[in-house]
Structure 1
Amino acid sequence: MKPLNPSFIFLLSLTVVSSSLGFYLPGLAPVSFCEQNSKGDAEECQTEIQLFVNRLDSVESVLPYEYDAFDFCKDTDENRPSENLGQVLFGERIETSPYKFSFKADKACVKVCTKSYDTGSREDKLKLDFLKKGMELNYQHHWIVDNMPVTWCYIVEDNQKVCNPGFPIGCLVNQEGKPKDACVINADFNKKNTYYVFNHVDITIHYHSGDETNGMHARLVAATLEPRSIKHSNDENPTCEETPMDIPADFKSNLKVTYTYSVTFKQNDDIRWASRWDYILVSMPHTNIQWFSIMNSLVIVLFLSGMVAMIMLRTLHKDIARYNQMDQEEAQEESGWKQVHGDVFRPPRMGMLLSIFLGQGTQVFIMTFITLFLACLGFLSPANRGALMTCAVVLWVLLGTSAGYVSARLYKTFGGENWKTNVLLTAFLCPGIVFVDFFLMNLILWVEGSSAAVPFGTLVAILALWFGISVPLTFVGAYFGFKKPGIEPPVQTNQIPRQIPQQSFFTKPVPGIIMGGILPFGCIFIQLFFILNSIWSHQMYYMFGFLFLVFIILVITCSEATVLLCYFHLCAEDYHWWWRSFLTSGFTAVYLFVYAVHYFFSKLQIIGAASTILYFGYTLIMVLIFFIFTGTMGFFSCFWFVNKIYSVLKVD
């Protein structure tokens, strides 16, 4: 294996990373807006702006809830836009809201609705308790205008501006008088054991004026808001200038909460529509850390490439040349990897299970590569909601042929004859484990009433895709795999297995497997932090260029680390390399799980048994998929390496 050319790495970095710095959204058409008295054609521009609401989530709970669960103001003509498969699986629940605006029509302190809570009503008490629980756990609104998140921008340390695509429903001052979460923004939030609900929002919508002389109308380029808590003294004619809306922890008197809003339109011709997400993405200071991660990973790759090149070009070349110049008697006195040529291709134990893992790993690799490549091109951007998950699921279903073919071909190479069992397990074993885990997690979400619970109809649709498309395609791939002959080894296998000499500590299976996963994990652990943040801390992930580059580096690192350890083990005359090559790089998944446990206890504030079970349940799915993927990369690299070095030996 030749080391990577530095110029190739540089060009690949520029190409891939540029896609994470530029944010173009192919396939998403802009919407034009105009005033009601404008002469523009109604088909060319819109005058009404509809604000959509999404599910509410929290960093202290894995359970998201629908907007209606917290007894907020509802739209009289409530309807839901069509959702794709990815949105349903991610638990997004987008619906219309009573917040409706006319373009360029500023409004101040507009009443939306009033919610009343009677102490004599058990239903009202449950609604208020659930609202207070949401404020205690810091649940966040997620509003959408023109397919763009309505953000809450504020200043943090070092005078840095952060724009968060969500804002809290309220906050809590505990019994000691210590404000939690958003209560620190206002000194008037000072009553002990009191909740403050953000029942008023000041919305600012920025628009690009366009060029009406060329028939180009205005387009929305940003939407921000500032949440406020106001106790309205007059529910019918609010002024939005009163004291904060406090809700005592003890529900002893009737309560009314009036929700209001103000909206202001501002012209901003400095922001183009194609880059209107940039003000959100720039506020996430991760780029420098990402570059550090990439450079760290490249150093590891270059080191491993140099080691592999040294082995291939120097050690192996000299060994093979010297070995081929000897006669047979002298060759038999040699030790090391050359002496196990008669046993190195002996079929492994549990060859069927290994072939099944390799078939599934090939399917996952191709799916991941295509998905990340499309994400780099911008087709699976955050603005195209649910597209990433939808693409991954559809690709996995359609790639059943590759899993069946690889599994059948390798199983035949191992000398297996139970082809029916092999095909069935390839189609059902790993997907079945994932589905059972997913279904159990979904049961917990159903019991908790979370919006993330996948509806029964969607589960049926997933099963239909699995049984109706993926399984038949797996059978088709297996049919072509079994029709072809198995892969012929370059050397013959002895009838009697050779005795393996006593191994040192570092060449024993377990220490070698444990060491093999360290370097691949070292290439990804920084990127893994941002991925876990996007999943569990609800941060927006958009740097797919970095992710794609790290994916390529991970594949190379798994391959080279496995080849190095495989060579050392063969030199120690241990020819059991089949499973070891798979487990060496596959052990990276164990480090992934350990890091996920560390992340749970050190970074997250999740409380509750249900949230904890959900976290580790979904983490196990990630670990299993990652184990199969990395193990497959290591196995095929080692398979190529062993075939390469033994094919040049002149062995009778």
Structure 2
Amino acid sequence: MRAVARNGAIVCALFAVSDAFYIPGVTYKSYKDGETIPLLVNKVYSGESELQYAYTELPFACPPTGRVKAGRFASGASISLNLGEVLRGDRITVSDYELRMGRDEEARFLCEKEVDAAGIQRTRLMIQNEYRAEWIVDNLPGATSFMSTDKTRKYYAAGFKIGEVVKQDDGSPEFAIHNHVTLVIRYNSAPGRDGEKGKKVIVGFEVFPKSISAEGRTKDGLPSDMQGTHDPMILAVPSNSTDVRDAPGASIKIPFTYSVYFREDEKLEWKNRWDMYFVASGDSSNVHWLAILNSLVIAGLLTAVVAVILARTIRGELKDDAIKLKPTRQTPTQKTHGLLGSIDDIEAEADLSDDDEELTGWKLVHGDVFRAPASASLLSAVVGSGIQLLFATIGILMLSAVGVLNPSFRGGYASVGIALWLFAGVFAGYFSSRLYATFGLPDWQRNVFRTASLVPGLLFATMFILNLFVWIQASSNALPFTTLLALVALWLFIQLPLVYVGGWYGYTRAGAWSQPIKANAIPRQVPPQSWYTGSVRGVVLAGAVPFMVVFIELVFVFKSLWLDKSGYYYVFGFLSVVGTVLGLTVVEITVVAVYLQLCAENYHWWWQSFLVGASSALWIFAYLVYYFFTKLHITGFVSSMLFFAYGALACSLYALLVGTIGFWSAWLFVRRIYAAVKVD
């Protein structure tokens, strides 16, 4: 227990250091007074839909004219994206909004956009579904500002609504579009020599949207009085029709304007500018600590159980002089006579049977415990892929906990995760092939191809099918054909060769792992089992324990992914601690389950050891279904299908990860206890 406490203290210390260390970006961009700052428009998203849309493709978006130039950027130019940004549906374009450092603009006219009836109807539906726009200035997303729960701190929520629902006098709803935005750019003096030269860095980007009617404007298209109250810009055509769709030939003209204000903020430094987006999340830090405490309590109880099994039961049995086993049955030689073999073989089997009758529990199945399982080739591929995923997951958590991966690196989690996954193909091939050789299976090249194709094939096939539905909806979630080709190229030219190299070395050079006891020629019959050993019910019940370790932290993960959408899950320090405890819990519950199974004289533990940890994914998916119907307001067939499809994929990867951890821990445990058995 002292070792556990010491390790826990070390983990908490590392967590404290990682929580304090944060890298918001590689370098800063400083601006001199009057220098043009490009405003980038990205996409719109909603908590009520899984479909996102490129902002420039919306029916009310002003088309860029190219008049704004900032360095190598010109309005209308598309910004090159990394793979992670493409996968998350980003489509970033330079806009016509003109921002010059330090120069306030009370009102500027952008454009007047004519929107037809179909565009009006689509915009009304998007306002009804509370779509929000994501704009970017100096890599900061435009934010709506709020006050924290204790009313002492201001914080940012990324994005702003494209419109609002307005109640008429008779109570009927109307939809008003936000056709005016007030942009507040907060800045501070640049650090170092740039600051001495009077240059500034941007530390905040706030957007205050407003709806202003097209009536009562000047000849320049500006409202006559920016400070007064205004009627909203209602999305309705001037006709006697009760519905926009009843007037297909009608259209309206929407004027778009904006204001720009620069404000100095000396309290906020550039390196801490992302903290404004995390204030609201920081208020829930006590709940994160509760999640860690819950995980530690469950892991502590399991540790006590495992300690009893290892220190008392097994160690006591190993010291017993009765654990002296005769040589196991060997595979019958070619010198056999008749169907039953030679007289010597039959007598040897009889002697072993008499000796086995004196043994009980896990000792009785010593001659069958290392027998190759059913579908051994598939198990090798699954476990090898799990090792690959484990390496990538640990790498992402470590880089995130120390701040190398952070929200300023847009798309970084997916891009770096894919890179780590590809590199870990060497380990996947190595461990898969060595396990394949241990099972005594030939044709390692087929195993290599199976290992390299299992997870990528599942992911690509699912994404390709879903992409067809998303493409029909004209959503930015749809992956371009070139991206699909790039993913295939990554698999063909990087993933497959690396898995092949690792597989070749693992099978031909390293070879099979030696087993402490050789398997008998004839399998022992498994006696009737209890409901908790070797059954689906027992596996599912055991999977509930790892789920209880993580379910509190899952609330924050789900909220970040499906409620906030553009919200950023940043507490990877907490997640790393919970993940570490989760791994320890999976190890312990698997060891307990396998030990009970062997004591019940059931030697089919190979797949069972994998499924015990993996079954917790069923509980997570069940919780995901509950979350969908109780917390979310996602509507539409395609959005619902995307939610459950991506949720099922995430749970499958989680099952692969924790199942692999359980498998290797069980194998080490079984090898250890049977290696201590004395064979006469």
Fold in common (TM above 0.5): yes
More displaced 10-residue stretch of structure 1: 243-252 or 105-114: 243-252
Give 3-state SS (helix, strand or coil) of 2:183's partner.
strand
Give 3-state SS (helix, strand or coil) of 2:679's partner.
coil
- C-alpha distance after superposition, 1:253-303 (max 9, x if no partner): 753321111221111111111001111101223322111111111111122
Matched with 1:147 is 139
Give the C-alpha shift of residue 379 in structure 1: 1.8
Give the C-alpha shift of residue 18 in structure 1: 4.1
Q: 1:600 aligns with which of 615, 622, 628?
A: 628
Q: 2:42 aligns with which of 46, 54, 72?
A: 54
Determine if the alignment matches structure 1 residue 641 to structure 2 residue 674: no
Determine if the alignment matches structure 1 residue 256 to structure 2 residue 249: no
CA distance in 2, matches of 1:220, 1:128: 36
Give 3-state SS (helix, strand or coil) of 1:283's partner.
helix
Give 3-state SS (helix, strand or coil) of 2:280's partner.
coil
Determine if the alignment matches structure 1 residue 266 to structure 2 residue 248: no
Give the C-alpha shift of residue 191 in structure 1: 6.1
CA distance in 2, matches of 1:260, 1:385: 29
Number of matched pairs? 621
CA distance in 1, matches of 2:2, 2:458: 38
CA distance in 2, matches of 1:214, 1:164: 33
CA distance in 1, matches of 2:534, 2:422: 39
Determine if the alignment matches structure 1 residue 25 to structure 2 residue 24: yes
Q: 1:22 to 1:278 in 2, by over 3 A?
A: farther
Matches within 5 A, 1:402-551: 402-483=427-508, 484-537=510-563, 538=565, 539-551=567-579
Gap regions ≥5 residues in structure 1: 37-46, 118-123, 178-188
CA contact (8 A) 1:112 1:259 kept: yes
More displaced 10-residue stretch of structure 1: 320-329 or 615-624: 320-329
More displaced 10-residue stretch of structure 1: 342-351 or 485-494: 485-494
* 1:597 partner amino acid: V
Determine if the alignment matches structure 1 residue 234 to structure 2 residue 209: no
Q: 1:357 aligns with which of 356, 376, 382?
A: 382
Q: 1:192 to 1:159 in 2, by over 3 A?
A: farther
Determine if the alignment matches structure 1 residue 209 to structure 2 residue 189: yes
* 2:44 partner amino acid: L
Matched with 1:400 is 425
More displaced 10-residue stretch of structure 1: 204-213 or 387-396: 204-213
CA distance in 1, matches of 2:550, 2:20: 20
CA distance in 2, matches of 1:213, 1:293: 43
More displaced 10-residue stretch of structure 1: 443-452 or 157-166: 157-166
Give the C-alpha shift of residue 4 in structure 1: 5.1
Q: 2:180 aligns with which of 184, 195, 200?
A: 200
- C-alpha distance after superposition, 1:124-165 (max 9, x if no partner): 222222211211111101111111122101348664755210
CA contact (8 A) 1:398 1:473 kept: yes
Give the C-alpha shift of residue 13 in structure 1: 2.1
CA distance in 2, matches of 1:84, 1:356: 30
CA distance in 2, matches of 1:333, 1:143: 76
Determine if the alignment matches structure 1 residue 611 to structure 2 residue 639: yes
CA distance in 1, matches of 2:323, 2:458: 53
Q: 1:316 aligns with which of 314, 317, 320?
A: 314
Give 3-state SS (helix, strand or coil) of 2:476's partner.
coil
* 2:124 partner amino acid: K
CA contact (8 A) 2:534 2:608 kept: no
Matched with 1:121 is none
Q: 1:419 to 1:315 in 2, by over 3 A?
A: same
Q: 1:327 to 1:599 in 2, by over 3 A?
A: closer
Determine if the alignment matches structure 1 residue 13 to structure 2 residue 12: yes
CA distance in 2, matches of 1:17, 1:192: 53
CA distance in 2, matches of 1:213, 1:135: 43
Moved over 6 A (4+): 325-331
Q: 1:17 to 1:149 in 2, by over 3 A?
A: farther
- C-alpha distance after superposition, 1:464-521 (max 9, x if no partner): 0001111111111111121133111112222222222222222242222112211111
CA distance in 1, matches of 2:99, 2:131: 25
CA contact (8 A) 2:610 2:659 kept: yes
Give 3-state SS (helix, strand or coil) of 1:230's partner.
coil
- C-alpha distance after superposition, 1:227-253 (max 9, x if no partner): 111114215232333222222373467
CA distance in 1, matches of 2:452, 2:37: 48
Give the C-alpha shift of residue 383 in structure 1: 0.5
Matched with 2:302 is 304
CA distance in 2, matches of 1:435, 1:129: 35
CA distance in 2, matches of 1:171, 1:6: 54
CA distance in 1, matches of 2:378, 2:163: 53
Q: 1:159 to 1:25 in 2, by over 3 A?
A: closer
More displaced 10-residue stretch of structure 1: 406-415 or 635-644: 406-415
Q: Percent identity over the alignment?
A: 36
More displaced 10-residue stretch of structure 1: 231-240 or 442-451: 231-240
CA contact (8 A) 1:491 1:646 kept: yes
Matched with 2:345 is none
Determine if the alignment matches structure 1 residue 247 to structure 2 residue 235: yes
CA distance in 1, matches of 2:464, 2:547: 29
Give the C-alpha shift of residue 456 in structure 1: 0.5
More displaced 10-residue stretch of structure 1: 422-431 or 449-458: 422-431
- C-alpha distance after superposition, 1:350-373 (max 9, x if no partner): 101111100110110001111211
CA distance in 2, matches of 1:306, 1:641: 16
Q: 1:126 to 1:289 in 2, by over 3 A?
A: same
Give the C-alpha shift of residue 614 in structure 1: 1.2
* 1:617 partner amino acid: A
Q: 1:278 to 1:572 in 2, by over 3 A?
A: same
Structure with larger Rg: 2
CA distance in 1, matches of 2:3, 2:253: 68
CA distance in 1, matches of 2:325, 2:392: 49
CA distance in 1, matches of 2:325, 2:177: 88
- C-alpha distance after superposition, 1:586-614 (max 9, x if no partner): 11111121122112111111111111111
CA contact (8 A) 2:41 2:56 kept: no
Give the C-alpha shift of residue 573 in structure 1: 1.4
CA contact (8 A) 1:23 1:278 kept: no
Give 3-state SS (helix, strand or coil) of 2:145's partner.
strand
CA contact (8 A) 1:404 1:475 kept: yes
CA contact (8 A) 1:403 1:426 kept: yes
Give 3-state SS (helix, strand or coil) of 2:136's partner.
strand
Matched with 1:343 is 368
Give the C-alpha shift of residue 331 in structure 1: 8.0
CA contact (8 A) 2:54 2:91 kept: yes
Give 3-state SS (helix, strand or coil) of 1:467's partner.
helix
CA contact (8 A) 1:208 1:272 kept: yes
Matched with 1:44 is none
Determine if the alignment matches structure 1 residue 621 to structure 2 residue 609: no
Q: 1:225 aligns with which of 176, 191, 207?
A: 207
Q: 1:73 to 1:132 in 2, by over 3 A?
A: same
CA distance in 2, matches of 1:34, 1:255: 41
CA contact (8 A) 2:401 2:576 kept: yes
CA distance in 2, matches of 1:488, 1:3: 34
CA contact (8 A) 2:376 2:436 kept: yes
CA distance in 2, matches of 1:541, 1:642: 39
Give the C-alpha shift of residue 22 in structure 1: 4.7
* 1:411 partner amino acid: Y
Give the C-alpha shift of residue 24 in structure 1: 2.4
* 2:201 partner amino acid: R
CA distance in 2, matches of 1:17, 1:153: 29
